[in-house]
Chain A
Amino acid sequence: MLAKRIIPCLDVRDGKVTKGVQFLENVDVGDPVAMARYYYEQGADEIVFYDITASNERRGIMIEVVRAVAREIFIPFSVGGGLRTLDDMRAVLLAGAEKVSIDSGAVRNPAIIAEGARAFGSQCMVLSMQVRRGAPSERFPSGCEVVIDGGRTPTGRDALGWAREGERLGAGELCINSIDRDGTKAGYDLDVTRLISESVAIPVIASGGAGEPKHLYEAFTAGAADAAIVASIVHYGEHPIPDLKRYLRGRGVEVRDAAGMERSAK
């Protein structure tokens, strides 16, 4: 049986970690490489970086970050944000990322999922989707619509329909990010996560809303998620990853026991 994965998420702009993180032990929280190493040693099962750099001219900075991170941590990590072409993806993968995460770019050009899967393998391709809950309707049977551009632009696509299409096109994993729950600390949107997880044959990652340890437990049980993205719940040091794992293990959830070993290796 696979362990449920806990995946810290770091937003990076112009090569610096931006929001969410204030202070963690004596780590330079602005430095994505130091942060990645910190979470690696804490026992993170994977790390995701979202590049929110606005200007195209400065995108090369992220490649340098990826290269530096890859020298420091020896678990999978993915990079998302602004990847539109095969060349964008190739640059990130060659720099050392295990996976790429595509979001708005895939909605605008779904063929990129199939092209990426063919070029690099499905296991590299994470389709990340932002979803917003509304009333279930004929158009949105899942009760959730896919939105892009940080929630500003509705797409008219049903969340479940897009998830199935993404799988068919060759995505290796799906990340379901609830716009309604993002930043609320009210827990993941369990309904849409479970609905999608039980309808596809690829792993599903819950995202948006984790504020307490029980929210992860819910994501892995009621939400049927294979993995969960965590941000503020770990960034402020209130619930370190080893504590989250201890809590989950105590409630019968299979998680990877790594923290002791990562530290003892130093």
Chain B
Amino acid sequence: MIAIVDYKAGNLTSVARALDHLGHRCEITDRAERIRAADRVIIPGVGAAGATMENLIALELIDVLRDEVARAGKLFLGICIGIQVLLDRSVEDHADCLGIIPGEVVRFPASVDGRPLKVPQIGWNRVRQSRAHPMFAGVPDNSHFYFVNSYYPVPADSAITIATSDYGVTFTAAIARDNVIATQFHLEKSGTAGLRMLDNFCRLKV
């Protein structure tokens, strides 16, 4: 069973619907024991880093996430805000995050070469696969994925970046380190390419 962490925000149901469509069993839950019982965990979503962390703290889910993802090595997928909360901290709300992946989350610049940059980035952007990974099985390099973000992750170890994208700057669009996978783009809203990556995650073996 795949646990989708319900942190009282975001579009949890759209990820659940995509998994249903792919034929994978999932459960939206805010209970630690369900996360412990799951064989895979997903933090999806739309939201702000500060509010997301506050909700995870209020729901007493911080410890279980660190235990299961960082120590026990359970397969984990973070989507959008779910990639950002993995790092140490975010400039958004000056939030302290989970610290499972060393690094921080920064904001897109307001302008590039004197030209204003529209922030948030809303729309379809190309994702360049910077290294091979089973998450990309069947997904052509440079496919478009749907992004909605004002902030992006900067992992301390650039070797865990598996894909980048360009929006004013070149930024990390996806990371993978052992059991921890995360994407800044919305797999559940990215058409067939996104569904394929979700399906790939559900079939990954540690």
Contact = CB atoms under 8 A, between A and B. Distances in A.
B195 A203 contact: no
A79 to B, nearest CB: 14
Contacts of A96: 13-14, 17
Identify which of A3, A40, A71, A74 gathers the most chain B CB atoms within 10 Å of its CB: A74
B10 to A, nearest CB: 9
A87 B48 CA distance: 21
A124 to B, nearest CB: 8
A92 interface: no
A258 B139 CA distance: 11
Contact of B21 (A71, A124, A226): A71
A201 B116 contact: yes
A123 B195 CA distance: 22
Interface of B: 11, 13-14, 17-18, 20-21, 46-48, 110, 116-126, 140, 143-144, 146-148, 166-167, 188-196
Contacts of B118: 201-203, 226
A74 B189 CA distance: 5
Interface in A120-151: 121-124
Given A74-B21, A261-B191, A261-B193, A3 B144 contact: yes
A13 to B, nearest CB: 26
A74 B191 contact: yes
Nearest to B139: A261
Contacts of A45: 123-124
Interface of A: 1-3, 5, 40, 45, 70-71, 74-76, 93-94, 96, 98, 121-124, 172-173, 201-203, 226-227, 256-258, 261-262, 264-265
A258 B125 contact: no
Given A74-B188, A124-B46, A172-B122, 11 more contacts: A1-B125, A2-B123, A5-B124, A45-B124, A74-B189, A74-B194, A74-B195, A172-B120, A202-B122, A258-B191, A261-B193
Given A5-B124, A202-B118, A262 B191 contact: yes
Nearest to A43: B191
B124 A265 contact: no
Given A96-B17, A257-B144, A74 B122 contact: no
Given A5-B123, A75-B189, A123 B17 contact: no
A256 B121 CA distance: 16
B144 A258 contact: yes
B47 A1 contact: no
B167 A2 contact: yes
Given A40-B191, A74-B194, A265-B195, A226 B123 contact: yes
B47 A3 contact: no
Contacts of A1: 125-126, 166-167
B89 to A, nearest CB: 21
Given A74-B190, A96-B17, A256 B120 contact: no
Identify which of B117, B140, B189 gathers the most chain A CB atoms within 10 Å of its CB: B189
A94 B193 contact: no
Given A2-B123, A3-B144, A74-B194, A121 B46 contact: yes
Contacts of B117: 201
Contacts of A75: 146, 189-191
A256 B192 contact: no
25 contacts: A1-B167, A2-B125, A5-B123, A45-B123, A71-B17, A71-B20, A74-B21, A74-B189, A75-B190, A75-B191, A76-B189, A98-B14, A98-B189, A123-B120, A123-B148, A124-B46, A201-B116, A201-B118, A202-B122, A203-B118, A203-B122, A226-B122, A257-B144, A258-B191, A264-B192
